[in-house]
Amino acid sequence: MSYKIATRKSNLALAQTDYVIGEIKKKFGIACEKLLIETTGDKRLDVTLDKIGGKGVFVKDIEIAMLRGEAQAAVHSMKDVPFELENSFEIGAMPIREDVRDALISADGRSFGELPYGAKLGTSSHRRIAQIKALRPDIQLVPIRGNVETRIEKMYKQNLDGIILAYAGLKRLGLECKASSCFSIEEMIPAVGQGALGVEIVKGNEIAPIVKGIDNHEVRVCVEAERSFMKALNGGCHTTIGAYAALEGDRIYMLGIFEVNGRLIKKDIEGSVLEHLDLGRRLAYKIISA
C-alpha cells in the first residue's frame, strides 16, 4: 500500500512533506511518495498575494489534484490555508508546530536594533509591515516574494539591508544560522498558524484514519483558536492581522493584532481550553470594540 502526498515544489515544502511522510511511516509502516505541484502562488511572484486571490493561491491547485484522485493528501504551512475550506476538504492533522517567531536576515549580520536609520527591509506581508512601522517608523519596506532561498538572493541583488521571514522555515531548512535576530512574539505577533503544518484530505477518503493518527491535539487547539479569531474578522492576505495562542495547562492565552480604521490594535485574552474557538471570537470582538 502506498499513498501520494501533494506538495509545492520549494525546498521548504518538500522538507515539510518529508516530515509528514516520515511520521506516517513510523506510526503505520505505510510508505508514501510526493506529488509535486506548482501552484498559482508559486508562478506569480511579480505581484502581492492579495492581487491574485490571497492565501488560497497556494492551496487551490493542490485541492484540484486531490479531487482528481492524483493525490490522497496534501501538506501545507497552516499560515497559507484560508480560514474556510470548501466542504469537500478538511485538515486531517496538524502534527507539529515549529518556533512561531519572525526572524530578520540582514545583509551584514546586524540585529534589528542595529540597522542604520532608513534601512530597507524586504517583506510583502501587511502584518509585518504594520508592526515594523510601529517599532521603527524610519525603516523603508520593499515588496519581496518567493521561497526562502529566492528572497535571500533578492536581498543581495536589490541591495536591501535585510528581509523578514518566518523562523520556522529557516529551521526546517537548516538555515537558522542565517537569522541575524528574532523578534519576540510581543514585538511581532505571528501570522495565524505560523510554524504549524497541516495535512489536508478529502473528507472520508481512505487515508483519513491514517492522517488523523498523526494529529497533535495541542497544536490543533492553538491553531484552531487563532483561525477562529481570523474567521471572526474575515482576515486574510488583504488585512493586517496576526494571532498567537499558547497552552498553559488547561488554559489558553491568546494575543491578537488587527488594523481597525487605520489603527493597529493589540489585545490579549485567556480562557479554558474547552472554549478555544469561542476564545478566538471573543478576542476578535475585544479588538473591534476597542
- Decide: 240 and 213 in contact? Cβ < 8 Å: no
Overall residue count recorded for the chain in this entry? 290
The region, left, alpha or beta by phi > 0 then psi within -120 to 50, assigned to residue 76 is beta
Nearest C-alpha neighbor of 155 from the set 126, 189, 179, 184: 179
Residues 6 or more apart in contact with residue 34 via CB below 8 angstroms: 4, 5, 6, 7, 14, 17, 18, 21
Residues 6 or more apart in contact with residue 121 via CB below 8 angstroms: 104, 115, 132, 139, 140, 141, 142, 160, 161, 162, 163, 164
Geometric angle at alpha carbon 41, from 78 and 258, rounded to 5° = 50
Geometric angle at alpha carbon 132, from 127 and 137, rounded to 5° = 135
Instruction: With H, G, I as helix, E, B as strand and everything else as coil, classify residue 36.
Output: strand
261: cell is 480604521
The region, left, alpha or beta by phi > 0 then psi within -120 to 50, assigned to residue 73 is beta
Helix 276-288 to helix 217-232 angle (10° resolution) is 30
Instruction: Give CA–CA dist 152/127, Å, rounded.
Output: 20
In what helix (H) or strand (E) does residue 239 lie, and over which residues does it extend?
Answer: none
> Which residue of the set 42, 61, 80, 161 is catalytic?
80
Q: Other C-beta atoms within 10 Å of 2: how many?
A: 8
80 catalytic? Reply is: yes
Active site amino acids = 80
